[in-house]
Amino acid sequence: MSVKKTLGKSFVLILIILILVAAGLLWFNFLGIIRLNSVFAPVYKLIGKEPQTSVTVTQSKPLAVNIDEDRLKKIQESLDIQTEELEKRESDITAKENLLAQTAAELDEREKNQEEREKTFNLTQKKYEDINVNIEQIANNLNGMRPEAAVNILLAMNDQLVIDVLRKVEELAAQNNTASMGSYWLSLMPSERAAEIQRKMVSKPETLE
């Protein structure tokens, strides 16, 4: 009789434990902690409940989002640095272009000035050549005149032109190995004018101006 009682108590105890375990599993499954929906589905239907189907919230998605944000941030920083470098290069190129343009303008200005100087020099040289040709022509004409006529023409000239003509006469005489008429012409001039011309010929260098 005692054995039956012991077995009965043991059976009741085991049954209570099984009920508690089943109830715990049922509750954990309802909360979504464990997944036994297929096992407890008839029970949920019987009591009119739906088990928790949402997955326990984890940090996987937030971490993924944070990683993507960090990547985007680094990419943006890299793009900003590249943009700054490009802007700096563009600024340097612009400065070099401005310097080259300024240098080119200066060279153009120097070239224009050089051309102007050459033009002025050529004009001056031509003027000198023309004057020299004219003086030589006057000297030749005077050499072919009577001394008195030649002196009258010389007296109508200014002192500088008289000096230039007399020097040309002397030059032509030296080239032709003939006597110069310059001294004789001066002797026929009024003494004061002749003295002034001789003084200028001594004090002034040979020039046409």
pLDDT, tens only, 88-137: 888 889 888 899 998 988 888 888 888 888 888 777 777 777 888 899 99
- The more confidently predicted of residues 178 and 131 is 178
Cα Rg of the chain (Å, integer): 63
Concatenating the DSSP letter of every residue in 89-131 gives: HHHHHHHHHHHHHHHHHHHHHHHHHHHHHHHHHHHHHHHHHHH
* This prediction's pTM: 0.43
Asked whether the beta carbons of 208 and 164 are under 8 A apart, the reply is yes
Reported as half-sphere exposure (CB side, CA atoms, 13 A), residue 16 has a value of 6
